[in-house]
A and B are shown apart, each in its own frame.
Chain A
Amino acid sequence: MRLRRALMKILVPIKRVVDPYAKVRSLPDGSGMDTTGLKFEINPFDEIAVEEAVRLKEKDPSIEIVAVSIGGAECEEQLRKGLAMGADRAILVETNDPLDSTVVAAELAALANELKPDMILMGKQATDDDNNQAGQMLAAKLNWPQATFAAKVERGDGIVRVTRETDTGDETLELPLPCLVTTDLRLNEPRYIALPGIIKARSKPLEKRPRMTSAAPKTRIVRMEAPAARQAGRKVGSVDELYVALKDRGAL
């Protein structure tokens, strides 16, 4: 019989993204996003990933949660929030290099090979790029099984059982550890962090280190523009009028 491992390590990648509720526009010259005056947050799906890791830890205090972000010094803010939510320590892979999902996956793979986590819990997509790529690419690089779009995560002996959302409903997968899970909206509702938590998190370890790979991006955004606006429509005064209008357009 296999002995249950006493210590489990969960790696949670966190991306700093522009406020997901803000109205974001492209810069007039098409060179990027206009973020003037906008807040930055943990990517909401990553916040769900931290919350899930913390809930697993609440059931098994021997779990260690390591939050990691790749990006500029400003990402420390989101890592501190992850620590305040309950992560044990954080790593900032500090760089101002252009990143795409292939670079993120390469860096996270190098880190995973060093830290040897049992599970990587991360967001299904970043709400700024809406790519939905990094997790699957990382799982491929590590040759680990994956469960994307998780709506429920349960731990068993050497395995996790994940209920995941699909195009037609949901399905339950059983994955041996180590494995990678990406979170969907309904996995949990992240806790509210009160001020004392944030203050306490200031004393948790946050290590800054340089990139571990020389992976170069394989894609580059060359232009950002406003999407074609929909033609403004009109108000109709009654169901009758709506019905006639739709009939006239051949929509009914």
Chain B
Amino acid sequence: MSKLLWIAFEASDAPAAAGFAQAVGLGFDLLQISGQPVTDIGADKVLSANLSEMPTSDGLAKAIAGVAGGYSHVGAVSSMRSKDVLARVAGLMDAAMVTDVVAAESPTRFKRPMVAGSILATVEVLSMPAVLTVRPAGFAKGDRGGSSSVESISLDATSVAKRLGASARGGARPDLTQARVIVSGGRPLKDAQTFESVIGGLADALGGAVGATRAAVDSGIAANELQVGQTGKIVAPDLYIAAGISGSTQHMAGIKDSKIIVAINKDPDAPIFEFADYGLVADLYQAIPELRAKIGK
């Protein structure tokens, strides 16, 4: 049977299933681990586990693999969590895996970036099932409507790894991977406080999210979950403002799908100007407050 099982860890992961399933030409069921069942995206059925706490990956992968038998494709939105869990699911199912799918040519041929986005590879899956993590920006948004039936299931996700504690930062700002506007800062932001007031301030004025380069995160100026790039988050906002960012291949790998890229950099030869829709050669400490004044917040 050719059918997709889409794993939604949270309700917000679900809608991307529709556009992807359409592109591949497959019907799909939704396995929703937590949150209110999403019934208006065209799933044949929604399997709702309704867990109140996300299990660690060994238990969760075992539980998902238990449901996934019989499906030709198992997919999820690309994220650190889906990479952690789904690659383990692939191991348990002895399945092929394609990470970070950005386009589908057929149910067995997918495109994905590699080498920090320098190369677009076409990957052929040689044996089914296939486990996929998908970047939604590559696919049209599916139609919403209808009402799928919901089946409650109980997942046994007993884990060997124990979670001792977790930080949940983030706060009031939108999630980086979903944000329409992102303001990102790099190495020249002196310290965490300056980063927060300059970059965070502009982001708040625009109702956007905050991102950072690896250099900014490594030097403790920004939190690790804000890192954008090859080894951080992949973003696709309408507007990406990069301030004090040189434009390394690794950083650009994470922002190429942005609709508009603005670069503010005091070095006219910074590589980021080769990618930016609008480049402003300026000191960010002058330009950003000026821009905020214009926006009027």
Interface: B216 (CB within 8 A): no
Nearest-CB distance from B72 to chain A (Å)?
Answer: 13
A235 neighbours in B (Cβ, 8 Å): 268, 273, 278-281
**Cβ B163 vs Cβ A172 within 8 A:** yes
Interface: A7 (CB within 8 A): no
B295 neighbours in A (Cβ, 8 Å): 243, 252
Interface: A221 (CB within 8 A): yes
Which listed residue (B89, B119, B276, B290) contacts A226, Cβ 8 A? B119
* Interface size counted on chain A using CB atoms at 8 A: 80
Which listed residue (B56, B125, B262, B279) contacts A219, Cβ 8 A? B125
Which listed residue (A145, A161, A227) contacts B256, Cβ 8 A? A227
Which listed residue (B96, B100, B163) contacts A102, Cβ 8 A? B96
B81 neighbours in A (Cβ, 8 Å): 166-167
Q: How far is the CA of A225 from the CA of B169 in the complex (A)?
A: 39
From A142, which residue of chain B is reached at the shortest CB distance? B91
B95 neighbours in A (Cβ, 8 Å): 218
Question: What mask results when residues 216 to 242 of chain A are scored 1 for a CB within 8 Å of chain B, else 0?
Answer: 111111111111101111111011101
Given A167-B225, A172-B164, A236-B279, also A220-B124 (CB < 8 A) = yes
**Cβ A136 vs Cβ B88 within 8 A:** yes
Given A127-B230, A227-B256, also A172-B291 (CB < 8 A) = no
Interface: B152 (CB within 8 A): no
Given A146-B57, A218-B126, also A167-B80 (CB < 8 A) = yes
Which listed residue (A18, A151, A173, A238) contacts B161, Cβ 8 A? A173
B74 neighbours in A (Cβ, 8 Å): none
Q: How far is the CA of A226 from the CA of B120 in the complex (A)?
A: 6
Q: Which of B91, B159, B164, B260 has the most CB of A within 10 A?
A: B91
Question: What mask results when residues 169 to 182 of chain A are scored 1 for a CB within 8 Å of chain B, else 0?
Answer: 11111111001000
Interface: B27 (CB within 8 A): no
Nearest-CB distance from A179 to chain B (Å)?
Answer: 8
**Cβ A169 vs Cβ B91 within 8 A:** no
Q: How far is the CA of A147 from the CA of B56 in the complex (A)?
A: 9
Given A172-B165, A246-B262, also A239-B225 (CB < 8 A) = no
**Cβ B118 vs Cβ A25 within 8 A:** yes
From B167, which residue of chain A is reached at the shortest CB distance? A169
Interface: A140 (CB within 8 A): yes
Q: Is the interface of B mostly helix, strand, loop or mixed?
A: mixed
Interface: A251 (CB within 8 A): yes
**Cβ A148 vs Cβ B83 within 8 A:** yes
Interface: A23 (CB within 8 A): yes
Q: How far is the CA of A127 from the CA of B159 in the complex (A)?
A: 30
Within 8 A of B (CB), among A168-219: 168-176, 179, 184-186, 216-219
Interface: A125 (CB within 8 A): yes
Which listed residue (A139, A219, A223) contacts B58, Cβ 8 A? A139
Size bracket, chain B contacts: 35 or more
Interface: B172 (CB within 8 A): no
Q: How far is the CA of A235 from the CA of B279 in the complex (A)?
A: 4
B165 neighbours in A (Cβ, 8 Å): 171-172
From A128, which residue of chain B is reached at the shortest CB distance? B115
B276 neighbours in A (Cβ, 8 Å): 233
From A124, which residue of chain B is reached at the shortest CB distance? B231
**Cβ B56 vs Cβ A173 within 8 A:** yes
Question: What mask results when residues 106 to 133 of chain B are scored 1 for a CB within 8 Å of chain A, else 0?
Answer: 0001000111111111111111000000
Interface: B221 (CB within 8 A): no
B279 neighbours in A (Cβ, 8 Å): 233-236
Nearest-CB distance from B112 to chain A (Å)?
Answer: 8
Interface: A165 (CB within 8 A): yes
Residues of A within 8 A of B (CB): 18, 20, 23-26, 33, 100-102, 105, 124-125, 127-133, 135-141, 145-149, 151, 161, 165-176, 179, 184-186, 216-228, 230-236, 238-240, 242-243, 245-246, 249, 251-252
Query: What are 19 A-B interface contacts by the 8 Å CB criterion?
Result: A26-B119, A127-B230, A128-B114, A131-B97, A132-B83, A136-B57, A136-B87, A139-B91, A161-B164, A171-B167, A173-B161, A220-B123, A225-B120, A230-B256, A233-B275, A235-B268, A239-B290, A240-B294, A246-B278
Residues of B within 8 A of A (CB): 56-58, 61, 79-81, 83-85, 87-92, 94-100, 109, 113-127, 159-170, 177, 206, 214, 217-218, 223-225, 230-231, 233, 238-239, 249, 256, 259-262, 268, 273-282, 287, 290-291, 294-295
Q: A23-B249, A101-B87, A184-B231 are in contact. List 12 more A-B contacts (CB 8 A).
A: A25-B119, A139-B58, A140-B89, A146-B84, A166-B80, A169-B168, A227-B120, A228-B120, A231-B277, A239-B282, A243-B294, A251-B239
The 7 nearest A-B residue pairs measured at CB: A140-B91, A218-B96, A136-B87, A137-B91, A171-B166, A233-B277, A169-B167
